[in-house]
Structure 1
Amino acid sequence: MKSLPLIAVLTCLALPAIAQEAPGPRLFVTGAGQVEVAPDMATITLGVVTEAPGADDAMAANSRALAEVIQRLTLAGVAARDIQTSSLSVSPQWTRPEDRDDAPRIAGYRVQNMVTVRIRDLELLGGVLDSVVQGGANQLVGLTLGIADPHEAMNEARRRAVADAIGRAQVLAQASGVKLGPIVSISEGGSGMPQPMFKAEAAFAGRAMDVPIAAGELTVEASVSMSWQIEQ
């Protein structure tokens, strides 16, 4: 019995190469937008510093004074949710011995209790500062002006940034003799609301003050990066 020869047929399939088209020329532009807005709120950090020979006495005196400050804030119309303790410290006060061989001694204790307060009506700010100083606050660390709801101002700044980018692109295209095609990409860069902050630390000795506050304006900023296809 004869065996039949086995014939193997190998078929090679040629796959067509897929050529990717290189992107055409593009124009990249960055635009910026700004909006001037009057602040409508303030954040202040203030508190009480007391000193006494004993830590308990210093803490008790501080607690009494700060309770009076918080009560005055409440009477001025500041809500409890807008008053928050930001720091509390108790530290010994050392004497410097005249003789270097003598060890330093504790002469007393210093207690500092600070609260951060949001004032949602700027017309109340000057009166609030005056009231808390009379109530016993003797430390003012900082005052920041801001906007309670900055979203609409930021959106307007974004719209102006896009308009600025489009205007720049049109000028560049016209100057270079090309025609803009469709927008290829758009991305937002940095945006924010710089806040004027008064950081000077002031100490008061229970003196009443008539504090003038100049609110001025805040600048809300936005930037965008855009690219266009350049038509051939």
Structure 2
Amino acid sequence: MNSLIRASALGLTLAAATAATAPAALAQTASAADSMFRATTLNLSAMGEVDVAPDMAIISLGVQTEAATAQEAMQANARQMTQVMAALRRAGIAERDIQTSNLNLSAQYDYQQNEPPRLRGYQASNQVTIKVRDLSRLGAAVDATVSVGANQVNGISFGLNDPAAARNAARQAAVADLRAKAELYAQATGYRVGRLVSLSEGASYSPPMPPMPMMAMARAESFKDSTPVSAGEMTVRVDINALYELTR
């Protein structure tokens, strides 16, 4: 019986201690929240952009063949595609930069009014996406593949082998823009910029150059010179958000 009384007394003591501590913790939380509520803050976003010349390109090309049977279409395609792949390697394109992006075999039909479709044969296509890390090789690489049978060139986009330097430059521009905005708003409202409370970065954005359509080319004899390619410039963009505390 005595042990039960002691246990009950201990429970009451702990409950009383907890009850005494809770208001103090709540008071501290409320005080911090009240302090932040009373602070004058400025929430801003900014963007930094830099224009840079691309130094790499991605292009899709391949072979399309037709034959009376599916096997013949695939065999003819395989022969031409093997030569295209060899030409890419001779043009200095590394194995890691050549990736099959489409392989397709389909039946081809002729349609006439009021008659059932008539099987004409089969069409096989094989396309690869290649990354050209040295733009000076691009025109020659395309011409080399066309000369051995590539008859599909679908488009080209440009990018950067290493975008880190461009992104850092865009970050610097974004921070400068952010600081200028903060100073302007503070001055306009009669405050001074105090401490930087927080800074966050959104996803950096390097929009690829719009794919440039290129006509399918049958044979290289129609080209006397290497295919000209103009890379132009691309924009690298970084978005940031920040919270400043303002002071009088």
Q: Is 1:107 aligned to 2:123, yes or no?
A: no
Superposition map of 1:1-232 within 5 A: 15=23, 18=27, 19-20=30-31, 21-23=34-36, 24-98=39-113, 100=114, 102-200=115-213, 202-208=215-221, 209=223, 210-232=226-248
* 1:138-161 CA distance string (max 9 Å, x none): 101121111011012112211211
Distance 1:175 1:72 in 2: 65
Distance 2:213 2:97 in 1: 22
- TM-score (structure 1 length as normaliser): 0.88
- 1:190 Cα offset (Å): 3.6
Number of residues of Structure 1 aligned to a counterpart in Structure 2: 222
Segment of structure 1 superposing worse, 196-205 or 40-49: 196-205
Identity over aligned pairs, percent = 41
Distance 2:94 2:210 in 1: 22
SS of equivalent residue, structure 1 residue 27: strand
Q: Are the equivalent residues in 2 in contact too, given 1:142–1:197 (CA < 8 A)?
A: no
Unaligned runs of 5+ in 2: 1-11
Distance 1:174 1:74 in 2: 62
RMSD, aligned α-carbons: 2.1
- 1:207 Cα offset (Å): 3.5
Segment of structure 1 superposing worse, 25-34 or 199-208: 199-208
- 1:194 Cα offset (Å): 1.2
Distance 1:106 1:40 in 2: 47
SS of equivalent residue, structure 2 residue 49: strand
Q: Are the equivalent residues in 2 in contact too, given 1:65–1:137 (CA < 8 A)?
A: yes
- 1:201 Cα offset (Å): 5.5
Aligned match of 1:4? none
Pick the structure with more strand per residue: 1
Q: Are the equivalent residues in 2 in contact too, given 1:32–1:164 (CA < 8 A)?
A: yes
Q: Are the equivalent residues in 2 in contact too, given 1:59–1:111 (CA < 8 A)?
A: yes
* 1:199-224 CA distance string (max 9 Å, x none): 52522221443311111111111111
Unaligned runs of 5+ in 1: 1-9
Corresponding letter in the other structure for 2:245: Q
Corresponding letter in the other structure for 1:62: N
Pick the structure with more helix per residue: 2
Corresponding letter in the other structure for 2:194: G
Q: Are the equivalent residues in 2 in contact too, given 1:51–1:111 (CA < 8 A)?
A: yes
Corresponding letter in the other structure for 1:140: V
Distance 1:214 1:204 in 2: 19
SS of equivalent residue, structure 2 residue 59: strand
Distance 1:214 1:203 in 2: 19
